[in-house]
């Protein structure tokens, strides 16, 4: 569940962008990202996570740019930047062979489990599922920007379905792997 908490800045952004506007929503998400970053940096029992560092850089960078350049990004334009940035963070984690789920998983299982081949495979699969979810969100954003006749609810539905599917898979798949390793059907 701590991994899902890592997405809190994105939830804050999504909640605030319609209520307060794009720039305040980016600033609020950057603030939440900074809180998580400092919490993990100062805590002896926690480690800095790639997702949280990437989120801080993403929201902090977008917020600073928007404030400094006085940009008037559309909601869809910012959503595309946020979703694409998140997808890049996840893909980079895969490219460097440190799937972003790995850091969270290591906090939940004993070190002897880390060496098991299925542990790494499970994290690769989970991270790939999240990459697909974020990829679908980016595609929905692009479609809504370049095909204005697509209603906004379609993009919202794709986002909700993609995130809900990734969360459900994240909760189900590790338990399924454990059961299979223990010889249960």
Domain span including residue 89: 2-181
Distance CA 10, CA 152 (A): 18
**What share of residues in the chain are helix, strand, coil (percent, to 5)?**
80, 0, 20
Report how many domains make up the chain.
1
How much is the pLDDT for 47?
Answer: 83
User: What are the pLDDT digits (tens) for 103-147?
Assistant: 889 988 889 989 989 999 999 999 999 999 999 999 999 999 999
Q: What is the pLDDT of residues 146-164, one digit of tens each?
A: 998 999 899 889 999 999 9
Residue 2: predicted pLDDT: 67
With the CA atoms of 100, 103, 109 and 114 taken in that order, what torsion angle do they form, in degrees rounded to the nearest 10? 80
Distance, CA of 102 to CA of 114 (rounded, Å): 9
């Amino acid at each position: 569940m701590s991994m899902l908490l890592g997405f809190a800045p994105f939830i804050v952004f999504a909640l605030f962008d319609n209520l307060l506007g794009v720039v305040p929503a980016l600033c609020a998400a950057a603030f939440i990202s900074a809180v998580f970053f400092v919490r993990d940096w100062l805590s002896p029992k926690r480690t800095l996570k790639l997702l949280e560092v990437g989120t801080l850089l993403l929201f902090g960078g977008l917020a600073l740019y928007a404030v400094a350049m006085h940009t008037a990004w559309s909601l869809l334009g910012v959503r595309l930047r946020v979703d694409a940035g998140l997808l890049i963070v996840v893909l980079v984690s895969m490219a460097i062979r440190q799937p972003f789920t790995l850091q969270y998983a290591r906090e939940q299982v004993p070190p002897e489990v880390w060496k098991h081949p299925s542990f790494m495979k499970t994290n690769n699969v989970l991270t790939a599922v999240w990459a697909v979810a974020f990829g679908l969100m980016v595609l929905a954003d692009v479609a809504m920007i370049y095909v204005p006749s697509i209603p906004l609810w379609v993009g919202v539905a794709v986002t909700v379905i993609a995130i809900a599917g990734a969360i459900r898979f994240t909760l189900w798949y590790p338990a399924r792997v454990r059961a299979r390793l223990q010889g249960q059907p």
